[in-house]
Amino acid sequence: MTRDDFIAVENFSFFYGEKQALHDIDMAIPERRVTALIGPSGCGKSTLLRNMNRMNDLIEGVRHRGDIRLNGHSLYDPKVEVISLRKRVGMVFQKYNPFAKTVYENVVFSLRVAGRNRKRELDEVVERSLRSAALWDEVKDRLHDSAFGLSGGQQQRLCIARAIANQPEILLMDEPCAALDPTATLKIESLIRELKEQFTIVIVTHNMEQATRCSDRTAFLYMGRLIEYGDTKQVFENPREEETEAYISGRFS
Amino acid sequence: MADSSNAFATTGRSRRGEPFVWLTAAGLTIGVILTLGLLGLVVVKGLEVFWPDRLEVFEVDQDGATESVAGYLVQDRTRRDLDGATHEEIQVFRGNLELYGEKFLFLDKADIRDTSRPDDLLLVERMEGGHVIGTAARIEFGDGARVGAEDPEFGDRLEALIEENEERRKELKEIEKDQIGRNAKQVKELTLRRRLIEDGVESGSIEAIDAELQELQAEFARLDEERGEIRERLEADRFLVASADGRELGIAGGELLHVFEPNRAGFFARLGETLRRMWSFLSDDPREANTEGGVYPAIFGTVVMTLVMSIFVTPFGVIAAIYLREYAKQGPLVRAVRISVNNLAGVPSIVFGVFGLAFFIYFVGGVVDGWFFPNAEEPVYKSGGILWASLTLALLTVPVVIVATEEALAAVPRGVREAALACGASKWQAIQRVVLPASLPGILTGVILAMARGAGEVAPLMLVGVVKSAPDLPIDAAAPFIHPERQFMHLGFHIYDLGFQSPDSEAAKPMVFATTLLLIFIVVVMNLSAIIIRNRLRKKYATSSF
Ligand SMILES: Nc1ncnc2c1ncn2[C@@H]1O[C@H](COP(=O)(O)OP(=O)(O)O)[C@@H](O)[C@H]1O
Ligand SMILES: [Mg+2]
C-alpha cells in the first residue's frame, strides 16, 4: 500500500525576510510517484522543494508558517534532527556538484558522514547505487579516479547515485537536467522513471515535455501560490485554470 | 580642429586622453626599470663576488722609490681633491694584513709605472687575517724539514698539508664541541645534584657523585691534553709566502684553507673555483666577524625559523578564519574583528618584536623557566630563541593566512556545501570533508605568502633571538637534538650586520651582495613553489560547479 499524502504540505507559507515567497500551499505528494513542480522562474518551486529537506534553514532571516509532514510527522517538530531528516531525503541539484574526490568517495559520502566505514558495506553500496543511477558500467573501472573526469551527464548521474546511496525515502531534484545536453537529459529521465519504484520523487522542471514524460502528478505554481495540482495528463491536456493553460501553451514563461 | 571634429567626432577626445595613456605607461615603465635595475644590480654584484679576479703586480712610484703592489682591482674611480684637481685612481685588494696593516689600498694612476700578471702569484685563503697574496717560498715542517717552491714535489706537499690540517681541525672541533661540551654538562648536572643532596632536597649518595665527578675530571684532563696536542700540531708546520715587495709571511698549517693561482687558471679552472667558492659560501660557517667564510648557519636559521613559524601560523590562521567565515554571526562585531585583523598586517613589525620580547620572552619564558628550570644559573627560555622568534613572526603573519583562508572559504561554491549537507553531513563535517579540501589551494597560497614575508622580516627578530653569530645550530646532534631556546642566525639580519655593523666594511661589501642575492633567491623560490603547488592543487580540486 502506498500512501497518498506521503509528503503533506499543509497551509505552508515561507518568507525570505520581509519577502513572502510561498503563500498558503496545500498539497499531498503520493509515495513512490514522480511529482513535478512547474511554473515560471521565481514562482517559488525551488523554495518549496528546498523546504522538504529544510535546506532553506541555512539562509538567514527566513521563517515559515504552516507545516510539512513526512509520512505523518512534522518536519518542523523541534525534536526532529535536521541531519537525520536529510538522511531520509536525498537531493539532486540543478548544477551537478560532485565533490573533489574520487567517484567511489563521492558515492559513499553520506555513509562516511554517518560513521559507516566498513569496506564490504561501502563496496556494496557503491555498486548498488551506481547501478541504480545507470552509471555502473560506465565508471566501474574508474572508481578511484577523480569525479571531475566524468562528462556532465555522468557527473549528474553520479550526484544521483550519491543522493540515493544511503537509501533515502524521498528524492528531491531541482531542475536536474538544466545543465545537460539532450542525450544526457533523456538518460536521466528514463532513470527517474525507474527510480520511482523505490523512491518518492519530487522534481522541479522548466521543461514541460520533461514533466509530461516522467511525472505522474504535476503542480503548477505561480507567484508563490499553488494554482493547480493534479494528474499530469489532466493538468496538461485539460487544465482547469486559465493561468495553467496560458503557461503550458507557452504564452508566458 | 573644427573640421576634424566634423569628420571624426571622437578624434579630439581620444587625443585629449593620450597624455594620460602616456603617463600611465611611463609610470609602469619606471616601475619595471627600477625593479629590474635593483634585481640586476644584486644579481651581477652578488655573482661577481665568486668569480676569481686575475692578480696583478703594480709598480708604483712612491716618494721617489718604486714599490711593487700585488693584488686585484676592486674599483676604478675619479677623485676630486680640495683644490679641484681630479685624480684617476684605482682601489686594489692586496691582503697580507700583517705586512701592511690594511687589506685595501688606493693607487693614483699617474704614479703607476708598470703592470704585469706573473703566473706564479698565489691567492691563499686562511682562517684568520684575510687573504694572502704573493708567491710560494717554501714549507717549513715542524720536524725541521723544508721543501722549497722549486722542488717538484712542492705542489703535492702543499695539498697534503692542507688536507691533513683540515682533518685535524675536524678532530679538534669534535673534541671541543662534543666531548668537552658533554663533559662540562655532566659536571654541571652532577654538581647541582650534589648541592641538592647536601641541602637535603633530594636523597642520594654524595660519595657516588664525588666518584663520578672525579672520573669526569680525569676524562677532562685527558681531553684537554689531546686538545693541546692537536693545537700544537696545527701550529707546527708553516707555509711561507713571499710578498711582492720581497718580504715573507708565514701561515701556520692549521690556518691554511685553500690556495689558488688565478693567473694560471683557464676559463674552466676559474669556473670551477667560482663553484667552489659558491659552495663554501653556502656550506661553511662564517669567519672573521662574518666577512669571510659562508652563511650556512644563517641559511639554516632562516629556513628552520620559517618552517617553525608556518607550523604555528597555519592551524592558528585557518581555525580563526573558519570561525570568522563559517560560524561567527556576521554582524558589526565580526566586521570589526575582520578590519582589525587586516590592519594587524599594517602594524610596524618592530612593534611585534617588542610584544614578542615582553610577552613571549619575559612573561611566558619566565613562567616556563620558573616551572621547569628553577635551578638553572642563567635563563633558558627567558631569553631570545628560535621558538620565540617563530611565534613572534607567526603573530605577524597570521593576518595573511586568515585573509587568504577566508577568501578561499568564500570561494567554495555554495552548491558543494549544500550537496554535503543534503547528504546528511553536519556543518563541521561539510567544512572538514568538503569545504576545506576545496579551499586548500587558497589556504596554501596564504601560508607560503606568509612564509615569504616571514623569511624577509628582520626588525622584530633582533629583539627575540637573532644574533650575529651563534655557536650552535638550533637543531644538532646533541641531545635532545631540537633546541628551541637557542639563539640563531638569520640571512636578513646577516645582511644588516655585514653592511652596517662590520668592523671592516670594505671587506664585507661582497658578502653583503652575495647574501642579499641568496635571500632574494630563497624568497623567490618560496613564492614560485607557492604558485606551482597552488596550480597543481587547483587542477586537482577544480570544482565543476558555480
Ligand atoms: N535566498 C533568498 N533570499 C531572498 N529571496 C530569495 C532567496 N531565494 C529565492 N528568493 C526569492 O524567492 C522567490 C522564489 O524563488 P525560487 O524558489 O528560487 O523560484 P524558482 O525556483 O521557482 O525559480 C523569488 O522571488 C526569489 O527572488
Ligand atoms: Mg529554482
Per-residue pLDDT of chain A (253 residues; tens, 9 = 90+): 688 889 999 999 999 999 999 999 999 999 999 999 999 999 999 999 999 999 998 888 899 999 999 988 999 988 888 888 998 999 999 888 999 889 999 999 999 999 989 999 999 999 999 998 889 999 989 999 889 889 988 999 999 999 999 899 999 999 998 888 888 888 889 889 988 889 999 999 988 889 999 999 999 999 999 999 999 999 999 999 999 999 988 866 5
The string of DSSP letters for A26-49 reads EEEEPTTSEEEEE-STTSSHHHHH
**DSSP three-state, residue A229:** strand
Q: Return all residues near A243 (Cβ < 8 A) that are at least 6 apart.
A: A220, A222, A227, A228
Are B308 and B365 found together in one domain? Answer: yes
Ligand 1 pocket, residues with Cβ under 6 angstroms:
A 16, 19, 21, 39, 41-47, 59
Dihedral sign for Cα atoms in the order B288, B289, B291, B295: positive
Span B134-143, average pLDDT: 84
Query: Please, where are the H alpha helices in B323-473?
Result: 332-344, 349-355, 366-372, 386-411, 414-422, 427-430, 436-456, 461-464
Cβ–Cβ under 8 Å, residues B74 and B509: no
Are B78 and B164 found together in one domain? Answer: no
Distance A68 CA to ligand 2 centre (A): 19
Distance A16 CA to ligand 1 centre (A): 8
Residue numbers in B near A114 (CB within 8 A): 424
d(CA B512, CA B404): 34
**Does the residue B525 lie in any domain?**
no
Q: Cell triple for residue B240?
A: 711561507
Q: Which residues pair with A15 in a beta bridge?
A: A20, A63
| Rg of chain B (C-alpha set) | 32
**Does the residue B471 lie in any domain?**
yes
Burial class (CB in 10 A: 0-12, 13-18, 19+), A88: middle
d(CA B308, CA B397): 13
What domains does chain A contain, in order, with CATH numbers?
7-248 (3.40.50.300)
Tell me which of A12, A46, A172, A222 to substitute to probe ligand 1's pocket, judged by most ligand atoms within 8 Å of the beta carbon: A46
Q: Return all residues near A205 (Cβ < 8 A) that are at least 6 apart.
A: A36, A37, A38, A175, A177, A211
What pLDDT band is residue B541 in, cutting at 50, 70 and 90? low
d(CA A147, CA A106): 8
Look up the domain containing B78 and give its range.
56-116
In chain A, the N- to C-terminal Cα span, in Å, equals 38
Q: Which of A11, A18, A13, A24 lies closest to A61, judged by CA?
A: A18
B420 touches chain A (CB under 8 A): yes
Q: What is the pLDDT of residues B361-374, one digit of tens each?
A: 889 988 888 888 87
Higher per-residue confidence, A62 vs B81: A62
CA distance B419 to chain A (A): 7
CA distances from B428 to A105, B34, B313 (A): 18, 49, 21
- Whether B12 shows a pLDDT value over 60: the answer reads no
pLDDT computed for residue B84 by the predictor: 82
Q: Which of B181, B192, B186 lies closest to B212, judged by CA?
A: B186
- Whether B9 shows a pLDDT value over 60: the answer reads no
- Whether B517 shows a pLDDT value over 60: the answer reads yes
Are B494 and B447 found together in one domain? Answer: yes
Annotate B224-285 with three-state secondary structure.
HHHHHHHHHHHHHCEEEEECCCCCEEEEEHHHEEEEECCCCCCHHHHHHHHHHHHHHHHHCC
Q: What is the pLDDT of residues B54-65, one digit of tens each?
A: 888 888 888 878
**Does the residue B518 lie in any domain?**
no
d(CA B94, CA A96): 75
**Contact B421/A55, CB-based, under 8 Å?**
yes
pLDDT computed for residue B352 by the predictor: 93
Q: What are phi and psi of A139, to 5 degrees?
A: -120, 5
Tally: H helices and E strands in chain A: 11, 10
DSSP secondary structure code for residue B109 in this structure = G
A110 touches chain B (CB under 8 A): yes
d(CA A247, CA B469): 83
B425 touches chain A (CB under 8 A): yes
A95 touches chain B (CB under 8 A): yes
Are B257 and B190 found together in one domain? Answer: yes
Atom nearest to A48 CA in ligand 1: 17
Assign 3-state DSSP to chain A and report helix, strand, coil percentages, each to 5: 40, 25, 35
Span B189-197, average pLDDT: 83
**Does the residue B215 lie in any domain?**
yes
pLDDT computed for residue A10 by the predictor: 94
Span B325-336, average pLDDT: 88
Residue numbers in B near A98 (CB within 8 A): 419, 544
Q: Cell triple for residue A8?
A: 503533506
Are B224 and B163 found together in one domain? Answer: yes
d(CA B311, CA B473): 19
Higher per-residue confidence, A20 vs B529: A20
Q: Return all residues near A218 (Cβ < 8 A) that are at least 6 apart.
A: A35, A36, A37, A38, A211, A229, A230, A231, A232, A235, A236
Span B338-348, average pLDDT: 87
Q: What are phi and psi of B453, to 5 degrees?
A: -65, -45
Q: What are phi and psi of B213, to 5 degrees?
A: -60, -40
Please tell me the number of the ligand nearest to residue A48's CA.
1
Q: Supply the ipTM of this predicted assembly.
A: 0.92
User: Which of A83, A93, A99 is nearest residue B424 as measured by Cβ atoms?
Assistant: A83
Are B339 and B193 found together in one domain? Answer: no
The string of DSSP letters for B443-509 reads HHHHHHHHHHHHHH--TTHHHHTB-S--SS-SB-SSTTSB-TT--B--HHHHHHHHHHS-S-HHHHH
Residue percentage of chain B with pLDDT more than 70: 95
Nearest CA owner, ligand 1 atom 2 = A16
pLDDT computed for residue B546 by the predictor: 33
Are B454 and B312 found together in one domain? Answer: yes
Q: What is the pLDDT of residues B206-222, one digit of tens each?
A: 888 888 888 888 888 88
**Does the residue B71 lie in any domain?**
yes
- Whether B342 shows a pLDDT value over 60: the answer reads yes
pLDDT computed for residue B1 by the predictor: 44
The string of DSSP letters for B188-215 reads HHHHHHHHHHHTTSS---HHHHHHHHHH
**Does the residue B20 lie in any domain?**
no
Domain containing residue B455: CATH number: 1.10.3720.10
d(CA A138, CA A117): 25
User: Which of A58, A84, A113 is nearest residue B423 as measured by Cβ atoms?
Assistant: A113
Question: Among the listed ranges A214-218, B49-53, B260-264, B479-483, which one has the minimum average pLDDT value?
Answer: B479-483
pLDDT computed for residue A180 by the predictor: 84
Nearest CA owner, ligand 1 atom 1 = A59
Annotate B131-170 with three-state secondary structure.
CEEEEEEEEECCCCCEEECCCCCHHHHHHHHHHHHHHHHH
Q: Return all residues near B301 (Cβ < 8 A) that are at least 6 apart.
A: B386, B466, B470, B473, B474, B488, B489, B490, B491
Residue numbers in B near A83 (CB within 8 A): 424-426
Highest mean pLDDT pick, A144-148, B181-185, B537-541: A144-148
Residue numbers in A near B543 (CB within 8 A): 97, 100, 148
Are B408 and B450 found together in one domain? Answer: yes
Highest mean pLDDT pick, B27-31, B306-310, B436-440, B537-541: B27-31
Are B426 and B367 found together in one domain? Answer: yes
**Does the residue B289 lie in any domain?**
no
Are B351 and B422 found together in one domain? Answer: yes
**Does the residue B124 lie in any domain?**
no
pLDDT computed for residue B309 by the predictor: 92
Span B380-403, average pLDDT: 89
Are B257 and B308 found together in one domain? Answer: no
Tell me which of A13, A18, A19 to substitute to probe ligand 1's pocket, judged by most ligand atoms within 8 Å of the beta carbon: A19
Are B460 and B360 found together in one domain? Answer: yes
Annotate B278-317 with three-state secondary structure.
HHHHHHCCEECCCCEECCHHHHHHHHHHHHHHHHHHHHHH
**Contact A99/B420, CB-based, under 8 Å?**
yes
How many domains does chain B contain in total? 3
Residue percentage of chain B with pLDDT more than 90: 21
CA distances from B92 to A239, B100, B101 (A): 103, 13, 14
Span B263-290, average pLDDT: 88
Q: What are phi and psi of B308, to 5 degrees?
A: -60, -40
To which residue does cell 554535503 refer? Answer: B420
d(CA B44, CA B37): 10
Taking the model in full, what pTM does it have? Answer: 0.78
Mutate to test the interface with A, among B414, B423, B432, B434 (most CBs of A within 10 A): B423
Distance B428 CA to ligand 1 centre (A): 27
Q: What are phi and psi of B61, to 5 degrees?
A: -75, 125
**DSSP three-state, residue A23:** strand
DSSP H/E element including B102: none
Annotate A90-152 with three-state secondary structure.
EEECCCCCCCCCEHHHHHCHHHHHCCCCCHHHHHHHHHHHHHHCCCHHHHCCCCCCEHHHCCH
